[in-house]
Amino acid sequence: MALPNYTETRYRIWHYFYIAICTFVFFFLIAPLFVIFPLSFNAEEFLVFSEGMKRLDPDAFSFRWYHEMVYGTKNPWGLAAKNSFIIAIFATIGSIILGTLAALGLSSRHMPYKGLIMAVLISPMIVPLIISGVAIFFFMAKVGLAATHTGIVMAHIILGTPFVVITVTATLSGFDHSVTRAASSLGSNPFNTFMKITLPLILPGVISGGLFAFVTSFDEVVVVLFLAGLENTTIPVQMWTGLREQLSPTILAVATCLIILSTLILVTAELLRRRSERLRGINR
Partner 1 sequence: MSSETKQILTTDGIPLEVSLKKAEKKNKIKAFLLVAPLLLFLFITYVFPIGEMFTRSVDDKMITNMLPKTFKAMEKWDGKELPPEEVFAGFYSDYKVLIENQTQGKLGQRLNKEKNGFNSITKKLMRQIKRNKIDETQSIKKQIMKVHKRWRDVEYWQAIKRTAPPYTMAKYLKGMDMYFAADGSIAQVDEDRRIHRILWLRTLEIALFVTIFCFLMGYPIAHLLATLPMKYSNLLMICVLLPFWTSLLVRTASWMILLQQQGVVNDFFVMIGLVGDDNRPEMMYNKVGTYVAMTQILLPFMVLPLYSVMKTISPSLMRAGKSLGGTPFVAFWKVYFPLTIPGIGAGCLLVFILAIGYYITPALVGGASGTLISNQIAYHMKTTLDWSFASAMGLMLLSGVLVIYWIYNKLVGVDNIKLG
Contact 102, 161 (CB under 8 A): yes
What is the sign, positive or negative, of the torsion defined by CA atoms of 210, 211, 213, 217?
A: positive
CB of 64 to partner 1, least distance (A): 17
Residue 150 as a binder of partner 1 (CB under 8 A): the answer is: no
Distance of CA 9 to the CA centre of its chain: 45
Overall size of the chain counted in residues: 284
Among 193, 210, 218, 224, binds partner 1 (CB under 8 A): 218
Cα 135 to Cα 92: distance, rounded to the nearest angstrom: 21
Residues between 41 and 60 that touch partner 1 (CB under 8 A): 47-49
Select 111 or 179, whichever has its Cβ closest to partner 1: 111
Residues 239-268 that bind partner 1 (CB under 8 A): 239-240, 243-244, 247, 251-252, 255, 258-259, 262-263, 265-266
C-beta closer to partner 1: residue 43 or 98: 98
The residue among 3 and 182 lying less far from partner 1, judged by its C-beta, is 3
Q: Which residues pair with 61 in a beta bridge?
A: 42
**Interaction of residue 219 with partner 1, rule CB under 8 A:** yes
Q: In the set 60, 80, 157, 227, which binds partner 1 (CB under 8 A)?
A: 157
Which one of 56-64, 67-75, 177-185, 215-223 is the stretch in contact with partner 1 (CB under 8 A)? Answer: 215-223
DSSP 42-98: BSSSSSS--HHHHTT-GGGB-SHHHHHHHH-TT-SHHHHHHHHHHHHHHHHHHHHHH
CA dist 124 and 157 (Å) reads: 10
Query: Of residues 33, 179, 199, 282, which one binds partner 1 by CB under 8 A?
Result: 33
Quote the least distance from Cβ 269 to partner 1, whole Å. 6
User: Would you say 79 or 101 has its CB closer to partner 1?
Assistant: 101
178-to-174, 175, 182, 247 alpha-carbon distances in Å: 12, 9, 6, 59
Phi, psi torsion values for 49, nearest 5 degrees: -70, 120
Query: Nearer to partner 1 by C-beta: 73 or 81?
Result: 81
Is 101 one of the binding residues for partner 1 (CB under 8 A)?
A: yes
Select from 69-77, 160-168, 176-184, 196-204 the region that touches partner 1 (CB under 8 A). 160-168
Interface of this chain with partner 1, residues 107 to 136, rule: CB under 8 A: 108, 110-112, 115, 117-124, 126-132, 134-136
Distance CA 233, CA 173 (A): 39
Q: Are 187 and 119 in contact (CB under 8 A)?
A: no
Compute the least distance from the CB of residue 124 to partner 1, in Å. Answer: 6
Q: Which of 30, 255, 224, 196 lies closest to 133, judged by CA?
A: 224
Per-residue DSSP letter, 232: G
Which of 73/136 has CB closer to partner 1? 136
Q: Which of residues 60-99 bind partner 1 (CB under 8 A)?
A: 98-99
